[in-house]
């Protein structure tokens, strides 16, 4: 009898790997019947990391969205699957244990069947609570291994993690090949090892298509005994996303596997609606380059889903790097040259900081270290001289045990800064917080919601939840969308429109022309510039000539997850404010100049 292979449509990840936002709840409910009618999907990834957060960002209640989105799928017998980040749950930073426990209860009540849990460091200590809490809530617990390629990340290494999480009681193992750099033969050997040792454990493979391995990997893992394959659909399949179900189904069918047939009329309806959602508003945040696969990712191992944000980062920092290179008489870099330089720097940095699998949030940390290294070296400074606290927490072991060994220079730098390395359970650093948020909701007169889902949302995403409740999130999103629409229509009239970005570019050009030695202050993240905290009234820009020492806080950027401090990277006096109080900036933008 032929081995049966089932398919999971990763509808959430299709969008996350393409752009910033997810479809609205009304759009999700419209596409659900067509997904059901395709007849080939046993599972749909409906929600999880990034989903709830970005719904809040455009003013939509994610709890209502999840309930409405999962209902028609589950009524049709399709399992709904979520993604969560273990210690980080649904956000980029660690989450207290009581909030993590409530998450699984809430998501089960909202109609989610499968909890796919991954730790970016593959640290079993971070995964133990995920398995325990998922099982307590009555969910299927799937532990996903964060797949990457190095001398450290062997079949034996991954089996060590599998042994632990099976001991914890997980039901399934996922292979989360988030960068698509897992080598097909090795992944086949890993699945074979899992199936031989734990024949009762279901195995699901998730591979991005960026560097081009994932179709071959799919065939290898299927031959080795994998049970479910994650797939996408047009117009978002391929590129930096996932293989299309049509190709995977045809390949596995030819190889003799028992695979479901695809209702092509329904597939075309899913395709049409997905394109309609892109045309409505989601496409404004999708970089056309995301449609392209690139073998450049084979070397650096960065996830394809990061390409959009990475290209945006490069565009901002590109100017600052070239300003520094020009000031020192060096050759300026083209965008392609800078991209290659970044990939090379990531490959250099990665083993120095302990080979963390390059998945959220550690892929962002490693990429940001590499990007700032390039900027620092262009300014004549040393590598690793501009790392933020989140990056140091990873290095110091506060997020879990790193797979590799830290380079001696990183250890020495930590000692110079007086930092201490941690070997304790990462969860111990983050005490329970639900009582605090329950009290805050009582004070505000806010309802904790059905199954305490509103309490959960507030505790998980406090800043975004407040903005959602106040209406600020929706207003900010509408302004952002209008700006995107304007920018898409701008041709030769850009000078007449005078968008803030255009005005800042003109100001930057004028400053650098008059003061070639001026040193830029760079935004560390997307957000709103704050020149004072706490904010009082409208806030004031500091006067020209204000002195800063290296390491001083110059200003703040209010990002979606909280405030980022903007540090002076050198001694100097304020020459020019480029981004004033309350202005939006992108990561890498010039905020001010010192001289």
Of 130-134, 167-171, 237-241, 328-332, give the lowest mean pLDDT range: 328-332
Nearest CA-CA partner of 24 in 48, 50, 59: 59
- How many whole angstroms from its chain centre is CA 559? 14
pLDDT in tens, 519-532: 888 888 778 888 87
Domain with CATH 2.40.50.100 in the chain: 516-594
Among the CATH numbers 3.30.750.24, 3.40.50.720, 2.60.40.10, 2.40.50.100, which is that of 516-594? 2.40.50.100
Strands 41-48 and 172-177: unpaired
Q: Please determine, for residue 213, whether its predicted confidence score (pLDDT) is greater than 60.
A: yes
Residues paired with residue 576 on neighbouring β-strands, in sequence order = 593
Q: Is the pLDDT of residue 304 over 70?
A: no
State the residue for tokens 């199954």.
Answer: 451
256 backbone φψ class: left, alpha, beta (φ>0; ψ -120 to 50): left
Which token pair is 381? Answer: 């400074």
Residue 35 confidence class, pLDDT cut points 50, 70, 90: very high
Nearest-angstrom CA–CA distance, 557 and 361: 19
DSSP 120-132: TT--HHHHHHHHH
Give the E-state strand segments of 111-248 in sequence order. Answer: 114-118, 140-146, 172-177, 202-207, 228-231
**Residue 459: closest CA among 116, 94, 111:** 94
| Structure-token pair, residue 350 | 């990665």
How would you write 442-466 as a 3-class SS string?
HHHCCCCCHHHHHHHHHHHCHHHHH
Identify the pLDDT of residue 217: 98
- Distances in Å between the Cα of 418 and the Cα atoms of 392, 411, 421 are 12, 11, 10
pLDDT digits (tens, 9 = 90+) for 237-271: 999 899 999 999 999 999 999 999 999 999 999 99
At 497, is the pLDDT very low, low, confident or very high (cuts 50, 70, 90)?
A: very low
* Tens of pLDDT, residues 273-298: 999 999 999 999 888 878 888 887 78
CATH superfamily of 6-288: Aldolase class I (3.20.20.70)
Distance, CA of 426 to CA of 125 (rounded, Å)? 8
39 band by pLDDT with thresholds 50, 70 and 90: very high
DSSP string, 42-65: EEEEEEETTHHHHHHHTT--HHHH
- The mean pLDDT of 340-350, rounded to a whole number, is 89
CB contact at 8 A, 8 and 230? yes
Q: Quick one: three-class SS letters along 410-445?
A: HHHHHHHCCCCCCCCCHHHHCCCCHHHHHHHHHHHC
At 547-586, the pLDDT tens digits run: 998 778 899 888 765 678 888 877 889 998 888 888 888 8
Reported residue count of the chain is 595
Confidence tier at 306 by pLDDT (50, 70, 90)? low
The continuous run of DSSP H or E covering 79 comes out as: strand 79-84
Beta strand residue intervals within 438-538, DSSP E: 519-522, 527-530
β-strands 562-567, 553-559 pairing: antiparallel
Q: What is the DSSP string of 567-591?
A: E-SS-EEEEEESS-TT-EE-TT-EE
Neighbours of 350 (CB within 10 A): 25
Per-residue model confidence (pLDDT) at position 338: 83
- Contact in structure between 542 and 594 (CB atoms under 8 Å): no
300: part of which helix (H) or strand (E)?
helix 296-300
Count CA atoms within 13 Å of residue 225 on its CB side: 16
Query: CA–CA separation, 337 vs 190, rounded Å?
Result: 37
């Amino acid at each position: 009898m032929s081995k049966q292979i089932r398919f999971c449509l990763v509808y959430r990840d299709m969008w996350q790997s393409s752009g910033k936002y997810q479809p609205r709840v009304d759009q999700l409910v419209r596409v659900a019947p067509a997904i059901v009618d395709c007849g080939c999907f046993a599972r749909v990834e409906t929600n999880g990391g990034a989903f709830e957060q970005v719904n809040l960002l455009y003013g939509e209640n994610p709890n209502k969205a999840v309930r409405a989105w999962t209902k028609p799928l589950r009524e049709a017998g399709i399992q709904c699957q979520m993604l969560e980040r273990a210690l980080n749950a649904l956000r980029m930073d660690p989450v207290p244990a009581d909030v993590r426990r409530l998450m699984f209860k809430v998501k089960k009540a909202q109609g989610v069947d499968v909890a796919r849990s991954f730790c970016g460091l593959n640290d079993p200590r971070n995964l133990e609570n995920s398995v325990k809490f998922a099982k307590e809530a009555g969910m299927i617990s799937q532990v996903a291994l964060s797949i990457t390629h190095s001398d450290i990340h062997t079949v034996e290494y991954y089996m060590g993690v599998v042994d632990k999480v099976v001991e914890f009681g997980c039901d399934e193992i996922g292979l989360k090949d988030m960068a698509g750099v897992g080598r097909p033969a090795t992944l086949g050997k890993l699945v074979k090892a899992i199936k031989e040792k734990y024949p009762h454990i279901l195995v699901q493979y998730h591979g991005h298509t960026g560097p081009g391995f994932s179709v071959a990997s799919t065939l290898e893992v299927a031959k080795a005994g994998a049970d479910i394959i994650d797939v996408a659909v047009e117009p978002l399949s391929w590129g930096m996303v996932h293989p299309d179900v049509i190709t995977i189904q045809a390949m596995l069918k030819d190889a003799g596997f028992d695979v479901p047939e695809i209702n092509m009329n329904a597939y075309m309806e899913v395709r049409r609606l997905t394109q309609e959602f892109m045309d409505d508003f989601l496409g404004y945040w999708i970089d056309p380059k995301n449609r392209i696969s690139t073998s450049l990712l084979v070397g650096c191992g960065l996830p394809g889903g990061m390409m959009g944000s990475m290209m945006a980062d490069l565009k901002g920092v590109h100017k600052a790097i070239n300003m520094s290179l020009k000031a020192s008489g060096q050759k300026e870099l083209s965008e392609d040259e800078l991209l290659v330089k970044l990939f090379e720097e990531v490959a250099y940095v990665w083993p120095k900081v302990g080979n963390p699998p390059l998945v959220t949030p550690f892929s962002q940390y490693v990429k940001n270290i590499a990007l700032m290294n390039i900027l620092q070296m262009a300014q004549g400074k040393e590598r690793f001289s501009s790392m933020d606290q989140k990056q140091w927490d990873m290095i110091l072991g506060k997020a879990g045990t790193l797979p590799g060994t830290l380079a001696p220079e990183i250890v020495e730098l930590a000692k110079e800064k007086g930092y201490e390395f941690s070997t304790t359970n990462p969860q111990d650093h983050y005490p329970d917080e639900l009582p605090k948020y329950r009290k805050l909701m009582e004070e505000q007169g806010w309802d904790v919601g059905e199954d305490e889902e509103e309490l959960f949302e507030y505790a998980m995403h406090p800043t975004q939840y407040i903005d959602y409740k106040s209406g600020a999130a929706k207003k900010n999103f509408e302004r952002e969308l209008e700006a995107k629409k304007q920018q898409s229509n701008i041709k030769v009239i850009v000078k007449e429109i005078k968008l803030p970005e255009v005005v800042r570019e003109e100001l930057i050009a004028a400053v650098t022309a008059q003061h070639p030695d001026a040193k830029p202050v760079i935004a560390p993240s997307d957000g709103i510039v704050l020149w004072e905290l706490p904010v009082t009234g409208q806030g004031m820009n500091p006067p020209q000539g204000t002195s800063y020492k290296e390491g001083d806080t110059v200003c703040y950027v209010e990002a979606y997850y909280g405030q980022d401090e903007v540090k002076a990277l050198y001694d100097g006096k304020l020459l020019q404010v480029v981004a004033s109080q309350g202005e939006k900036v992108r990561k890498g933008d010039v905020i001010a100049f010192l001289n």
